[in-house]
Chain A
Amino acid sequence: MALSGIQIYKLLPQTNCKECGFPTCLAFAMKLAAKQVELSACPYVSEESKQKLAESAAPPIRLVTLKADGNEVKAGNEVVLFRHEKTFYNKPGLFIRLKASEGADAIAQKVAAADAYRVTYVGMDFSIDGFAVQADGGDLNAAVQAVRAKSKRPLILIGEAETLAPALPALDGETPLLYAANPENWEAMADLAKKHAAALAVTAPDLDTLADLTQKIKEKGVEDLVLDLGTTKLSEWLARSTQVRRLALKNFRPLGYPVIALAGEAGDTAKESIFAAQAIAKYAGFIVLDTFAPELIYPLLVLRENIYTDPQKPIQVQPGLYEINNPSPEDPVMVTTNFSITYFAVANEVEGAGIPAWLVVCDAEGMSVLTAWAAGKFDAERIAKSVKEFNVAEKVSKKRVVIPGHVAVLSGELEEELPGWEIRVGPREAVDIPAFVKQAL
């Protein structure tokens, strides 16, 4: 954690020579603590102090980046325990595990499907982040090659040092994650990670041992570490993950690393999904799934997006007049708000049903229909203003606008605000818009 001004002051020469441009060392220290000046402005700081200050400036949870061919997955750099305190930053990477014993063909097939997987949620495209390959007796090299033939995403390699070693030269230039150093094998694993500039997962049955291990490994020169909490029992994992996050935020360096969760180890697919959901909410940096199934991956990707949304900024779209399915002047005009979830609920429905329409997206400060209405950000005045501002009247021949069913109460006022326009109340839910358009318009 960052040092306070007073703590920084103790590391400065305390001569008040003013060369930094401040009247006293303390004044300079205060500015440093507030990150408003650079340490280099003081020519007299000792090497030792410099190092201490650099260490203290390091984030409480180390940023670990797995890389392959331009693709990156980042974990760490988190600063809070609860998302409302600020936000969570680096979404946990979702990896799919393959076992070398499955054989190269089966692996290639699975990887091709998982790598190609794309799903759109409120205008954002999601995909999985990488693959984990486990050396479980089969030919690891062949397995890794099979993955690489179909995917350029970062890798996690699971096995012992001697089995992983032969597969690593082919991954030169990448940063894979090796899983995992434990109290028995850690030296060999650390050597291997160092040799290939890989990140290294560390596992131990309890936090005491884990903290010991990370320190020993760090001394060997491997810094990009990832913690495995040594359990897949829900309650135990939750407790340890919480403890690690708390300790890390208190600047306890030995556990200041991102956490990996092997969800596939938790049990059947039902348990795997639940464990993965917990890992998303409760501080995992990497999550490894055994099941690649869209019906599981999709909700997990969406949950992850939700939990990592900045609480200060709702996801929103640009207000404006959106043309759906190339509308012509006689096609219907509908209004909605610029909260992403709302906009896409409506736009997807209209687009999916093949209905050409003009969608007026009002600036409701990123709020849903009812929230914005309750907050006074989606009223007759604002709707009318948008209709005028976006020159809707010039684009359409039929001056008729459909408002969401939830704000039916606005129709009277809107008639006054928009003289010459017919106001129609649409259904409450977007799903019912296609039927409404067919029957009522």
Chain B
Amino acid sequence: MPVEVPKTTWPGSVKTITLGATPEEGGTRSRTVTVGGETTLPFLHFETPMPNPPAIAVEIKDHRPDDWSPLLAEAWGDVMDDPAQWAKAAEEAGADIIVLALSPKNRDGNETTKEEAVSAVKAVLEASGLPLIVWGPGQADLDNELLVAVAEATKGERLVLGICEDKNYRTIVATAMANDHLVQARTPMDVNLAKQLNILISDMGMPLDRILMDPTTAAVGYGIEYGYSAMERLRLAALQGDAMTQLPMIVTPGFEAWKAKESKVGEGVPEAWGDWKERAVNWETLTAVTLIESGADIVVLRHPESIKRVKVAIEELMNV
């Protein structure tokens, strides 16, 4: 009995966005990464091929973080003391993109300065030819100060600057526009809020193909279902033709999963949680894979083993 497989043809599609610029394009990256361009739901190759695989970004810090799980410290080892070495190690571990998250305080416990931020960014750009995303420390004033300096010092690199939120996006967007960079726009798991922020940013004159949308997510066990459904709904809206949702999505399963007690803590937890390291890696990997299935174009990860596993999953999902 020939089964007529129902195929959906959507009026809309997701924008294609390229991160990083090679020397010919005005930057210094040895390669660029292109994401987005979907014309149907994730990996439904029988409808239309998925043009670009989801990319794996790996999060590193400007200096050794004191609040990361000991498992992450063990996995990365001494490179955590040096962002350049860490970036190299991340590239070797399989990263497509590096995320450099700037800390509010420097090694000595003083507020991070513009000079320190710029020098960390430059060191990473020299050590690795991958496209780079730079996050401010997450405090509006400091974010603006550091990201403006970073944007100016790296003009033309097509970095992604973040994280723009409704309370603080103008300065970051303005400097990204002036210096040929992109931005990451975050809203809390809501289709309309995501649209609204994208509108505000594009109203400033930022072209839509330089905005990555971050709908916010949570780890398995901590509200992933909200993020999962918000992403499905955003992607459906994009395919239905709503221009302000047609941006590739970036999410942070690494950050979320490693905040969970299941990953962070090895002792004094129920025996039924099983082996700590494998559990933690599963927590991150399964969070990431689930989000990739709901439309993530970039997942930001932390542990080398998760990177490896998610990479294999993406390859298999892209393999028709």
Residues of chain A whose beta carbon lies under 8 Å from any beta carbon of chain B: 82-84, 117-121, 207-208, 210-212, 215, 233-235, 238-239, 242-243, 246-247, 250, 252, 254-255, 270-271, 273-274, 277-278, 281-282, 293-300, 302-303, 306-307, 309, 311, 341, 345, 352, 368, 371, 374, 431
Contact = CB atoms under 8 A, between A and B. Distances in A.
29 contacts: A82-B232, A83-B225, A83-B229, A84-B233, A210-B3, A234-B43, A235-B316, A235-B317, A235-B319, A238-B43, A239-B44, A239-B45, A242-B41, A243-B46, A247-B5, A271-B313, A277-B289, A294-B279, A295-B278, A298-B274, A298-B279, A299-B220, A299-B286, A303-B220, A307-B225, A307-B228, A341-B223, A352-B268, A374-B188
B282 A273 contact: yes
Contacts of B224: 303, 306
Interface in B225-279: 225, 228-229, 232-233, 236, 261-262, 264-265, 268, 270-276, 278-279
A402 B316 CA distance: 49
Contacts of A273: 282, 285-286
B2 interface: yes
Contacts of A82: 229, 232-233, 236
B228 A243 contact: no
Contact of B43 (A239, A254, A309): A239
Contact of A298 (B2, B273, B294): B273
Contact of B290 (A215, A250, A277, A341): A277
A270 B46 contact: no
Given A207-B3, A311-B225, A295 B282 contact: yes
Contacts, number: 154
A235 B268 contact: no
Given A247-B6, A277-B289, 13 more contacts: A82-B229, A119-B270, A120-B270, A121-B221, A235-B45, A239-B43, A243-B46, A298-B274, A299-B279, A302-B220, A303-B286, A307-B225, A307-B290
A302 B20 CA distance: 37
Nearest to A125: B272
Contact of A294 (B232, B233, B271, B316): B271
Contact of B262 (A270, A299, A371): A299
B204 interface: no
Nearest to A234: B316
Closest 6 CB pairs of A and B: A295-B274, A294-B274, A295-B279, A119-B272, A234-B316, A84-B229
Given A211-B3, A215-B1, A296-B282, A302 B272 contact: no
Contact of A270 (B1, B294, B312, B317): B312
- In terms of DSSP, what is the predominant structure of the interface of chain B? helix
Contacts of A368: 223
B86 interface: no
B222 interface: yes
Most A C-beta atoms less than 10 A away, residue of B3, B44, B262, B309: B3
Contacts of A239: 43-46
Contacts of A270: 285, 309, 312
Given A208-B3, A274-B309, A311-B229, A302 B221 contact: yes
A208 B232 CA distance: 29
B190 to A, nearest CB: 11
Contacts of A299: 220-221, 262, 279, 282-283, 286
Interface in B286-320: 286, 289-290, 293-294, 309, 312-313, 316-320
B3 A247 contact: yes
B273 A295 contact: yes
A306 B236 contact: no
A307 B218 CA distance: 13
Contacts of A282: 293
B6 A243 contact: yes
Contacts of B316: 233-235, 271
Most B CB within 10 A of own CB, among A274, A300, A352, A374: A274
B271 A234 contact: no
A427 to B, nearest CB: 12
B225 A309 contact: yes
